[in-house]
């Protein structure tokens, strides 16, 4: 028999510990499936045999292998060697223990919840374990019935919803019509960004490289760039974007594209996600499910056919937030690294920086570059009151240093620096590319920002001013343990930060340890790998076969049919 011994959660991953008295040889031959009461297989667990009596299972509840959440329903866990025989996982503990194992993920600003509950089957001879998955949405009908909203308020909401539905229908109609009449033309590549009106660094590097390789002779290469978070656009502008999407064969994105929430792209269209932020610590997408602003069970991120990463070891940092398979994340390296690692580019930028800012030359340069606080672009800020500018200035005087303040792009305005500090403190918010500042930086001070990965390649020290670590972990969420994964010393107060700077206590050995893990390629070939492997489709065999094997395994599992449960569930 096999019994559930313990259950725990790591973000969206359900981890189960099973105890068994089965023979060790049989246990090692088993696969574990999440099976509906009808006998249909919904997903296969990842499993590891710990010893002859213990097995650990893991299931990402947001991905059943088809890049979808586990469907609502009641399930058993069956162990099988793929023969007709199967063994159900049992539970003989208390109801209170089972209740503690459950989890609820609230999404849509509190209008929806995805819940996972545990129970046992009361009608079977043995206490079979049951897992109940439920995707619930808030009902508006009862809200109207009990609160008795005024007729004008109900009418206003009805009109808005009708307009929204008509807008979605209109977008789908545009896409379907233009898609149906696209023929006898060159294939088309679209660089699509709805978050900014200029090409992001990786998109810009890839765009330039495509033209450098004369791919514009083979493809029509177009851009569609809008900053929808800061600007309002007409329905005609949105219709034009939908038309560009409909004409594209390959779509390259760098962020979230809202149109993908409603459009069903043609199967032949390939979407490549470059992701502007790299593998930072901040939870994004499904890594922060249950937190404010997290996605719905299906969202635009899942439409990516491929995403990219800097190494095999960190590709799960990307697959989990996007709700896609780990094998869909290819370690090409980030295109923006190509100009960054180009020595000629570096010499030119350093020369231009020292020409523009002569106060930096010959001095120790400290770059203060934290991420923002607040929920979104509109509420973003940084609490400058935590910085003791007076003491920091005296430190700079004693060490002949300058401090460059480069805040997150969402934090508005320049840093307000008193006149008496301006010979050593400089606000660099207007400088367009933080990576270029890394060339002349001797020490980086940050917190949860993804900029640490580019800076690691400079092989220089970092300090992490994480004054709100515990609160940030609860409100925003991390997609991996922070303390054990930062390449430098963590400082929880400004006093600790200044002390670490004075004593040069950087814990630099962490940088040397992490570099090989986080970068498979330290070169200027990332753009070419994205073009050759993903755009042109010449994916190396090791990645292509791994992806196909995973898809075959998912398809094989879902063709299995177990006898239906005999209970009265």
Mean pLDDT of 275-301: 82
Determine the average pLDDT of the residues in 261-287. Answer: 85
| DSSP string for 167-214 | HHHHHHHHHHHHHHT--SS--EEEEEESEESS--HHHHHHHHHHHHTT
Burial 73-105 (b: 16+ CB within 10 A, else e): ebbbbbbbeeeeebbbbbbeeeeeebeebebeb
508-516 contacts at long range (C-beta below 8 A, 24 or more positions apart): 508/461, 510/486, 511/456, 511/459, 511/460, 511/461, 511/462, 511/487, 512/459, 513/487, 514/456, 514/485, 514/487, 515/456, 515/457, 515/459
User: Residue 21 pLDDT more than 70?
Assistant: yes
Give the model's pLDDT for residue 98: 92
* Same topology between domain 156-334 and domain 342-518: yes
Q: Does pLDDT of 442 surpass 70?
A: yes
Query: What is the per-residue pLDDT for 147?
Result: 58
Spatial CB neighbours of 208, under 8 Å, sequence gap ≥ 6 = none
Provide the pLDDT for residue 142. 52
pLDDT tens track for 27-65: 888 999 999 999 999 999 998 887 878 999 999 999 999
Domain 342-518, CATH? 3.40.50.12580
Selected residue with higher pLDDT from 311 and 141? 311
Query: What's the rounded mean pLDDT across residues 415-442?
Result: 94
| Percent of the chain residues topping a pLDDT of 70 | 95
CA angle 199, 204, 210 (to 5 degrees): 130
512-562 confidence digits (pLDDT tens): 898 998 899 999 999 999 999 999 999 999 999 999 999 999 999 999 999
How high is the pLDDT of residue 568? Answer: 44
Q: How do residues 183-219 score in pLDDT, each as one tens digit?
A: 767 899 999 999 999 999 999 999 999 999 999 999 9
How many residues are given for the chain? 569
Task: Return d(Cα 155, Cα 218) in angstroms, integer.
Answer: 53
Specify the 3-state DSSP secondary structure of 483. coil
Q: What is the pLDDT of residue 569?
A: 45
pLDDT at 284 over 70: yes
| CA-based nearest residue to 569, from 43, 121, 166, 93 | 121
Task: Flag whether pLDDT at 486 surpasses 50.
Answer: yes
| Listed residue (298, 540, 491, 477) closest to 386, CA to CA | 491
pLDDT value at 75 more than 60 = yes
- The CATH homologous superfamily to which domain 156-334 belongs is CDP-glycerol glycerophosphotransferase, N-terminal domain (3.40.50.11820)
Residue 448 has pLDDT above 60, yes or no: yes
pLDDT value at residue 479: 65
pLDDT of 148: 65
Residue 475 confidence (pLDDT) above 70: no
Listed by start position, the domains of the chain span 2-138+554-559, 156-334, 342-518
Q: Do 32 and 2 form a contact (C-beta atoms < 8 A)?
A: no
Distance separating alpha carbons of residues 391 and 388, to the nearest angstrom: 6
8 A C-beta contact, residue 438 and residue 459: no
Its CATH class, for the domain covering 2-138+554-559, is mainly beta
Nearest CA among 469, 492, 471 for reference residue 481: 469
Instruction: Name the band, by pLDDT with cuts 50, 70 and 90, for residue 476.
Output: low
Higher pLDDT, 468 or 149: 468
Mean per-residue pLDDT over the chain, rounded: 91
Q: Residue 291: what pLDDT?
A: 84
E-state strands within 46-153: 46-51, 54-60, 73-80, 87-90, 103-107, 112-120, 129-137
């Amino acid at each position: 028999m096999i019994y559930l011994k313990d259950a725990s959660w790591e973000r969206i991953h359900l981890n189960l510990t099973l105890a068994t008295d089965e023979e060790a040889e049989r246990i090692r031959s088993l696969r574990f499936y999440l099976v509906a009461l009808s006998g249909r297989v919904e997903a296969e667990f990842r499993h590891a045999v710990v010893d002859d009596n213990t097995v650990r299972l893991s299931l990402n509840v947001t991905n059943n292998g088809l890049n979808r959440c586990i469907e609502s329903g009641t399930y058993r866990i069956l162990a099988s060697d793929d023969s007709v025989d199967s063994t159900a996982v049992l539970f003989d503990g208390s109801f209170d223990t089972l209740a503690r194992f459950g989890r609820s993920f609230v999404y849509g600003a509190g209008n929806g919840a995805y819940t996972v509950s545990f129970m046992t089957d009361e009608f079977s001879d043995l206490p079979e374990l049951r897992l109940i998955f439920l995707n619930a949405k808030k009902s508006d009908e009862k809200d109207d019935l009990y609160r008795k909203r005024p007729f004008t308020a109900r009418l206003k909401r009805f009109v808005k919803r009708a307009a929204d539905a008509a807008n979605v229908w209109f977008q789908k109609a545009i896409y379907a019509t233009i898609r149906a009449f696209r023929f006898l033309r060159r294939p088309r590549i679209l660089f699509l960004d709805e978050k900014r009106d200029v090409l992001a660094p990786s998109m810009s590097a890839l765009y330039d490289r495509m033209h450098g390789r004369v791919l514009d002779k083979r493809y029509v290469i177009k851009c569609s760039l809008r900053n929808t978070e800061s600007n309002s656009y007409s329905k005609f502008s949105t219709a034009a974007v939908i038309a560009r999407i409909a004409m594209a064969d390959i779509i390259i994105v760098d962020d979230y594209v809202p149109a993908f929430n409603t459009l069903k792209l043609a199967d032949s269209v390939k979407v490549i996600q470059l992701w502007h932020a790299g593998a930072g610590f901040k939870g994004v997408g499904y890594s922060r499910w249950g937190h404010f602003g997290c996605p719905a069970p299906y969202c635009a991120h899942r439409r990516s056919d491929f995403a990219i990463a800097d190494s095999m070891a960190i590709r799960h940092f990307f697959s989990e937030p996007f709700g896609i398979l780990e094998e869909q994340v290819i370690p090409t390296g980030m295109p923006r690294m190509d100009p960054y690692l180009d020595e000629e580019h570096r010499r030119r930028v350093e020369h231009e920086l020292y020409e523009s800012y002569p106060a930096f030359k010959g001095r120790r340069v400290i770059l203060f570059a934290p991420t923002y606080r607040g929920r979104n672009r509109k509420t973003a800020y940084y609490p400058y009151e935590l910085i003791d500018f007076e003491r920091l200035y005296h430190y700079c005087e004693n060490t002949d240093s300058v401090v460059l303040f480069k805040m997150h792009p969402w934090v508005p305005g320049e840093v307000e620096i008193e006149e008496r500090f301006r010979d050593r403190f400089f606000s660099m918010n207007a400088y367009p590319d933080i990576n270029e500042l890394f060339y002349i930086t001797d020490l980086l001070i940050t917190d949860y920002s993804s900029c640490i990965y580019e800076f690691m390649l400079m092989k220089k020290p970092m300090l992490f001013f994480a004054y709100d670590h515990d609160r940030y972990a609860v409100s925003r969420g991390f997609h991996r343990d922070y303390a054990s994964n930062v390449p430098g010393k963590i400082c929880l107060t400004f006093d600790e930060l200044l002390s670490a700077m004075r004593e040069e206590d950087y814990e630099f050995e962490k940088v040397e340890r992490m570099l090989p893990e986080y970068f498979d390629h330290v070169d200027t070939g990332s753009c070419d790998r994205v073009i050759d492997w993903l755009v042109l489709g010449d994916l190396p065999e090791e990645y292509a076969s791994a992806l196909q094997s995973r898809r075959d395994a998912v398809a094989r599992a879902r063709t299995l049919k177990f006898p239906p449960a005999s209970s009265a569930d």
